[in-house]
Amino acid sequence: MSNVLVVLDHVNGTVTKPSLEVLTLARSFGEPIAVAFGAGADGVAESAGQYGAATVITVTDAVVDEALVAPKSEALAQLVEQTGATLVLLPSTLESKEVAARLAVRAGGGLITDAVAVAGDPGAITTQQSVFAGNWTVDAAVTAPLAIVTVKANSVAAEPAPVQAAVQSATVAFSDGAAAARVVATEPKAASGRPELTGARIVVSGGRGTDGNFSEVEALADALGAAVGASRAAVDSGWYPHAYQVGQTGKTVSPQLYLAAGISGAIQHRAGMQTSKAIVVVNTDPEAPIFALADLGVVGDLHTVLPQVTAKVAELKG
């Protein structure tokens, strides 16, 4: 068994669901060592321990919060050397993929991003990726001694394996260039009470067919405990914020259930949701391209169909 480094995403000490999934995956390769960066990192120990991380290494130097991704990649390169890890796993976020790429250059590792399956032994890691808008599945292998893999959300079910986690403060050195680019201002996204889009198990998305009225989409999402998404047409029309766009120029999601309401299914949108485990479509046009992806298709007006579904979900929930 080898040491496996798992980089945790967290919000002020609350570990994200995709990170818990990656911890679950890491246990099949060896003893996971969790790494948490920035303010609140000391608070991840309880969650990380619940999912099998007996050791949590924190990097809380001010430069980590003040600068962009360079300090994290520098710190990880040093931690790989200190722990002797042969595998580094990260959840697939925009920032994590950049950190992973920089780490691969610094440590001479082999990089694979957006994996949906990871297998093999440390030193001989193989993966699967869904590429070209989900039309192809690629098998890949890392031939370098160090494998660095980012894992798509919902590729693994998070399963607890409680242990007592010990927190260690990392001893790392940062170069002068690590803080050359700094964050000068941030604005937190307003809390909606819904799960984060890329990590949600259920996503309800609306498109041009909403005519700008997302109330039925939001009501069904809240009844299901789902995230809300939007097509590019809806975002470009100003009906919903860009942060919720699903597609090639938006966010890529892979939930257990994706419900597309009033979305025609242009290739740009399908590229962002095609790997969903189950797809339900509601559209007035029976010839809409998105029906080709549907596990269940309903030809009808979303403003009529969605409220009925919401009412039935509420009834079943009692």
SS3 55: strand
pLDDT tens-digit profile, the chain (318 residues): 568 999 999 988 889 999 999 999 999 998 899 999 998 898 999 999 999 999 999 999 989 888 889 999 999 999 999 999 999 999 998 899 999 999 999 999 999 999 999 999 877 899 999 877 667 889 999 999 999 999 998 899 999 999 999 999 998 999 988 878 877 777 766 666 899 898 899 999 999 999 999 999 999 999 999 999 999 999 999 999 999 999 988 998 989 999 999 999 998 899 889 889 999 999 999 999 999 999 999 999 999 999 999 999 999 987
Residue in 136, 116, 159 with CA at minimum distance from that of residue 127? 116
Which residues touch 261 (CB under 8 Å, ≥6 apart)? 204, 205, 206, 207, 209, 210, 216, 217, 282, 283, 302, 305, 306
- 53 vs 166: CA distance, rounded Å: 9
In a domain, 62, yes or no: yes
157 plus 247 within the same structural domain: no
173 plus 204 within the same structural domain: no
pLDDT of residue 191: 63
47 plus 15 within the same structural domain: yes
In a domain, 277, yes or no: yes
- 294 vs 263: CA distance, rounded Å: 12
207 plus 270 within the same structural domain: yes
In a domain, 90, yes or no: yes
90 plus 61 within the same structural domain: yes
141 plus 205 within the same structural domain: no
Q: Which domain holds residue 67?
A: 2-179
In a domain, 185, yes or no: no
- 203 vs 224: CA distance, rounded Å: 9
In a domain, 190, yes or no: no
What total of structural domains would you count in the chain? 2
- Name the domain boundary from 151, 179, 207: 179
In a domain, 259, yes or no: yes
Kindly list the distances between the CA atom of residue 35 and the CA atoms of 72, 188, 195, 216, in Å, as whole numbers in the listed order: 10, 23, 23, 40
Q: What DSSP designation does 182 have?
A: B
Please give the structure tokens belonging to residue 303: 């403003």
* CB burial string 268-279: b at 16+ within 10 A, e below: bbbbbbbbbeeb
In a domain, 287, yes or no: yes
151 plus 206 within the same structural domain: no
- 31 vs 51: CA distance, rounded Å: 11
- 200 vs 154: CA distance, rounded Å: 8
175 plus 203 within the same structural domain: no
- Name the domain boundary from 116, 151, 179: 179
206 plus 286 within the same structural domain: yes
30 plus 133 within the same structural domain: yes
- 263 vs 279: CA distance, rounded Å: 12
CATH of the domain at 128: 3.40.50.620
- 227 vs 312: CA distance, rounded Å: 19
CATH of the domain at 267: 3.40.50.1220
> H/E element holding 140?
strand 136-141
pLDDT of residue 190: 67
- 256 vs 154: CA distance, rounded Å: 7
- 60 vs 28: CA distance, rounded Å: 28
A 10 A CB-CB count for 14 gives 11
124 plus 205 within the same structural domain: no
Longest CA–CA separation in the chain, Å: 60
Provide the strand spans (E) within 16-107.
Answer: 30-37, 55-59, 87-91
SS3 282: strand
- Name the domain boundary from 145, 179, 213: 179
pLDDT of residue 239: 96
106 plus 225 within the same structural domain: no
- 186 vs 89: CA distance, rounded Å: 27
Which region, left, alpha or beta, applies to residue 108 given φ > 0 means left and ψ of -120 to 50 means alpha?
Answer: left
In a domain, 271, yes or no: yes
pLDDT of residue 158: 93
Please give the structure tokens belonging to residue 125: 């890691």
SS3 177: helix
